[in-house]
Structure 1
Amino acid sequence: MESWSTFGGDLHLDLTGRRARGLGLRAALEDALREAVQDGRLAPGTRLPSSRALGGDLGVARNTVVEAYTQLAAEGWLTSRRGSGTTVAARATPSRPVSCPAEPASGPAIRYDLRPGRPDLSLFPRTAWLAAARRALATAPHDAFGYGNPLGRIELRRALAGYLARVRGVRTDPAHILLCSGYTQGLALLGRALSDRGTGTLAVEAYGLPRHREVARFAGPATEPLPLDEAGARTDLLAGSRAGAVLLTPAHQFPLGAPLPAARRQAAVEWARERDGFVIEDDYDGEFRYDRQPVGSMQGLDPERVVYAGTASKSLAPGLRIAWLALPGALVEPLARLKTLADGQSGVLDQLTLAELITSGTYDRHVRRCRLHYRRRRDRLVAALAERAPDVRVTGIAAGLHAVLQLPDGAPPEAELLARAAAAGLAVGALADCLDDPRQAPRAAPALVIGYGTPPEYAFAGALDALCTLLEPLGRPSR
């Protein structure tokens, strides 16, 4: 008996319109197949369904399909071999090829990627992830694969509640944790929920990730820049702002790198209490600390006024699209409702796998290995610049996966340096691109933002050499 899986899959053919134009059944089938080959929907080599399967699907006699296949084979459109089924002939090139949009011109190819915000993807623990996925699948209840709680699987919410309390000092429980399809979705949901509560303006750090500001504005609130100094965000200025909520990176300000002092954290929390507002704590790389003690979460100061946002994007991989929000009680129901409207729930298989990694201790061991790896990367970056570009000052390196390179007096504008880097196949970031309001006074000297986590190990030495070659001439007196 011929099987559908052996002799081809589903095939969409419109016979109704052709029959309405007066074509007979066989002629309509031949015309539809011929057109599908001509316009490229059926590429050369594509195996067609068996005559019995296609006839059953279209509601026509098998002999009608056999005759149509035979005619098209005689015309050279199809090839039929006994025991091998019917395929589209290799010489049947489409007369109207299906075209894809051209890739936008992007200049020279990137050989070395030192843009910030990206981990070394070669560190993803494939073997451990696969083993955890197998264990999770073997023990998962049947209802795990149905429509579930929009907050996410209870296994991962329980695991995260314990892990975040132990590692980041977060005070929460599984009922207050929402699992999101990436931090971007979490921020969008928060922006919409805050807007629904009447928050018209969200304060954001004057330097930050542009995409996050765009996401917040798209979700509803306008954004208002909060000034920074060498100690981080000026939370004392919140009282004079229009904002009803503030987005902060208190553990490691992005991109400048300072941890927010305790007094400023307390000031932000007290402002939120007085304003009946909220602090959104973006803890994007809170697990990676090198030269100082880990800084606990702001959320621990007041779990009813601070939303804690974390992600697996840096510790594992951004492609997993796993993030979490530890929510104040007042935001749980609104966020759950919005999550239901957005996508119902995030994929459960990766949630179950991550829960298994955390509860088995594998995740902790992986993070420790990554922390050592990135610290060595940072040390190599600092040593190379000290030797070859000593006039460049490296800052913001006590934590995280990026550094700010303060360039010496007389250095060319950042845009010119980025163009030079691109011509050499090197991708870097510019500090000016992180500025919220371009009308703000520019910094006294240009600076680059370098992500030292991105290149795989085999490419890191080359990336460092390319960076040093770019920066070596800076600061040297002209002759």
Structure 2
Amino acid sequence: MGRIRTNSSTAEDLLIHVDRSAAEPLHRQIAASIRDSIRSGRVRLGTSLPPTRTIAADLGVSRGVVVEAYQQLVAEGYLTSRAGGYTQVAVESAPTPAGRHSGDRPAARTDFGYGRTDVSSFPRAAWLRSVRTVLTTTPNERFAYLDGRGVPELHAALTDYLNRVRGTAARPENVVICSGYGQGVALILQVLAARGARRLAVEDPSADDDARLVAAAAGLDVIGVPVGPDGILVEKLEQTDADAVVLTPSHQWPTGGVLSAPARARLIGWAQRRGAVVIEDDYDAEYRYDRSPIGAMQGLAPDTVVYCGTASKTLAPGLRLGWLLAPSHLVDDITAAKVRADRGSPVIDQLTFADFLTRGEFDRHLRRMRPVYRRRRDALLAALRARLPELEPVGVAAGQHVVTWLPHDLDEARVVAAAARRGLIVQGVSRYRLSPTRPGGLIFGYATLTERAIIDGVAALADAVAEARAPTCC
């Protein structure tokens, strides 16, 4: 059995020390000591910390000082606290890779990694209510082998939701449930390759490694199509002989462009003339801040577009819940490919999500999270304006990341390397290009960061930019 972690430790056990002669307030000293214990791995994920009264008594300080320290660490994401329960460690310390000394590079203080959602805000209570409903009301036959498309309850719930919120032209019989976008696009490309497709067009830049890897394995040639301020350049796509195209028209990844109505119509016309398939990755359309909703392309041409959606950016990627709205002529083949892959997605998860959608809990979660992400985005933009006004942000009106273009006198690789030396993880746009072009750019994911961490991260980046600009020694 694993070791049970209790809250019977003391301030001394946690190596909490305070210096009353120091200028730094006591609550910050306490928070710093606990933070260091978590980062070093001395206090592990799930460990329950002592009650604030115990720590206060051990240190000879008022309970309010300890409460303030705990609240600060909860806000930073190091601790989690529930009413009537223990305060627990919410993060795992990063292990030192084998063969690397801890002094080689500082531990990451701020990670602007993209493609993440704040899983600490997962609506556990609402999800649990749906789980209980499913387990107490679902007929026994639902737990037997089912159609590879998934359960009818989720087909109906998704159809209602997507037609209402994303402007799709979905019908329950065209919905196929899959294990996230990765599996969904793999099923589509396997079917298209089997039907004779030979070339796949993708946006350039694009982070769609899933599509590119599957395409290569299926023997498809991958063609990069340049992206402009509003998304994929349709006139460049028309010059290709692609049999299918994968794109993110509602919020291009990573630049954030929104494909205009005339460009969408032109793209669909190209696909219909060629008999090509448009694969629409609608990866983060629910999070928008400064613009009106943009409907999905699938609603314009449901017989030409395969719509891909998931719960990864809205709820949690660990759910592995995804869905396809497939044209009628592809549904059976995609379903057969799904059955061959894993015989179908877990029934309880599907039914739970269907209940979650039907109860309106998904809508409530999105309404709750939009202002949270907007504040973090605003903190990032304000910090960039104050410390790095020469960086040009794009794609800021929606999503969970921002791209900034670099001035021509800044080398992207040097900036990224200088940032890493300061414990700052930020990725460059160039690694997601199929063809090398300038200018360079940086990608800032902000969904999992506190506003304080964002501000500190941009400050560290400003120092890194200064270093990257400094002349190199001969």
Q: TM-score band (shorter)?
A: 0.7 to 0.9
Q: Distance in 2 between matches of 1:306 and 1:338?
A: 18
1:377 aligns with: 376
| Local SS of the residue matching 2:449 | coil
Aligned counterpart for 1:114 among listed residues 90, 112, 115: 112
Q: Which 10-residue stretch deviates more, 206-215 or 451-460? A: 451-460
| Local SS of the residue matching 1:240 | coil
Maintained 8 Å contact 1:122/1:456: no
Maintained 8 Å contact 1:389/1:472: no
Is residue 171 from structure 1 mapped to residue 165 from structure 2 by the alignment?
A: no
Maintained 8 Å contact 1:121/1:317: yes
Which structure 2 residues correspond to residues 208-287 of structure 1 after superposition, within 5 A? 208-212=206-210, 213-287=212-286
Q: Distance in 1 between matches of 2:279 and 2:361?
A: 29
| Local SS of the residue matching 1:383 | helix
Q: Distance in 2 between matches of 1:469 and 1:242?
A: 46
Residue 221 of structure 1 and its aligned partner are, at CA, apart by: 2.0
C-alpha change, 1:127 and 1:465, in structure 2 (3 Å) is farther
1:40 aligns with: none
C-alpha change, 1:187 and 1:220, in structure 2 (3 Å) is farther
Task: Tell me which structure has the larger Cα radius of gyration.
Answer: 1
Residue 448 of structure 1 and its aligned partner are, at CA, apart by: 0.3
Residue 269 of structure 1 and its aligned partner are, at CA, apart by: 0.8
Is residue 450 from structure 1 mapped to residue 449 from structure 2 by the alignment?
A: no
User: After superposition, what is the alpha-carbon deviation per residue over 1:405-448, rounded to whole angstroms, capped at 9, x for unaligned?
Assistant: 1122322x22222222222222111110110234xxx11x3210
Corresponding letter in the other structure for 1:348: V
Q: Distance in 2 between matches of 1:229 and 1:186?
A: 27
Is residue 321 from structure 1 mapped to residue 315 from structure 2 by the alignment?
A: no
Corresponding letter in the other structure for 1:238: L
User: After superposition, what is the alpha-carbon deviation per residue over 1:2-33, rounded to whole angstroms, capped at 9, x for unaligned?
Assistant: xxxxxxxxxxxxxxxxxxxxxxxxxxxxxxxx
Is residue 193 from structure 1 mapped to residue 191 from structure 2 by the alignment?
A: yes
2:134 aligns with: 136
Residue 473 of structure 1 and its aligned partner are, at CA, apart by: 6.4
User: After superposition, what is the alpha-carbon deviation per residue over 1:347-381, rounded to whole angstroms, capped at 9, x for unaligned?
Assistant: 12221111111100111010111111111111110
Q: Distance in 2 between matches of 1:401 and 1:197?
A: 36
Corresponding letter in the other structure for 2:448: T
Residue 328 of structure 1 and its aligned partner are, at CA, apart by: 0.2
C-alpha change, 1:127 and 1:104, in structure 2 (3 Å) is farther
2:460 aligns with: 466
C-alpha change, 1:329 and 1:375, in structure 2 (3 Å) is same
Q: Which runs of 5+ in 1 are unaligned?
A: 1-101
Residue 126 of structure 1 and its aligned partner are, at CA, apart by: 1.5
| Local SS of the residue matching 2:287 | coil
Maintained 8 Å contact 1:391/1:475: no
1:160 aligns with: 158
2:71 aligns with: none
Corresponding letter in the other structure for 2:271: A
C-alpha change, 1:219 and 1:144, in structure 2 (3 Å) is farther
Residue 315 of structure 1 and its aligned partner are, at CA, apart by: 0.3
Maintained 8 Å contact 1:121/1:456: no
Maintained 8 Å contact 1:208/1:254: yes
1:311 aligns with: 310
2:417 aligns with: 419
Q: Which runs of 5+ in 2 are unaligned?
A: 1-96
C-alpha change, 1:135 and 1:472, in structure 2 (3 Å) is farther
Maintained 8 Å contact 1:389/1:474: no
| Local SS of the residue matching 2:238 | helix
How many residues get paired? 373
Maintained 8 Å contact 2:387/2:458: no
Corresponding letter in the other structure for 1:146: A
Maintained 8 Å contact 2:418/2:468: no
Corresponding letter in the other structure for 2:417: A
| Local SS of the residue matching 1:415 | helix
Q: Distance in 2 between matches of 1:124 and 1:179?
A: 21
Q: Distance in 2 between matches of 1:426 and 1:311?
A: 29
Q: Which 10-residue stretch deviates more, 327-336 or 103-112? A: 103-112
C-alpha change, 1:237 and 1:104, in structure 2 (3 Å) is farther
Q: Distance in 2 between matches of 1:231 and 1:425?
A: 34
Maintained 8 Å contact 2:380/2:454: no
With the length of structure 1 as denominator, give the TM-score of the two structures: 0.74
Residue 236 of structure 1 and its aligned partner are, at CA, apart by: 2.5
2:145 aligns with: 147
Residue 218 of structure 1 and its aligned partner are, at CA, apart by: 2.6
Maintained 8 Å contact 1:115/1:450: yes
Is residue 405 from structure 1 mapped to residue 399 from structure 2 by the alignment?
A: no
Q: Distance in 2 between matches of 1:280 and 1:455?
A: 31
User: After superposition, what is the alpha-carbon deviation per residue over 1:272-300, rounded to whole angstroms, capped at 9, x for unaligned?
Assistant: 11111110010000111111111100001
Maintained 8 Å contact 2:307/2:326: yes
2:67 aligns with: none
The root-mean-square deviation of aligned C-alpha atoms, in Å, is 2.3
Maintained 8 Å contact 2:406/2:412: no
| Local SS of the residue matching 1:332 | helix
Residue 214 of structure 1 and its aligned partner are, at CA, apart by: 2.1
With the length of structure 2 as denominator, give the TM-score of the two structures: 0.74
Maintained 8 Å contact 1:187/1:216: no
Maintained 8 Å contact 2:251/2:399: yes
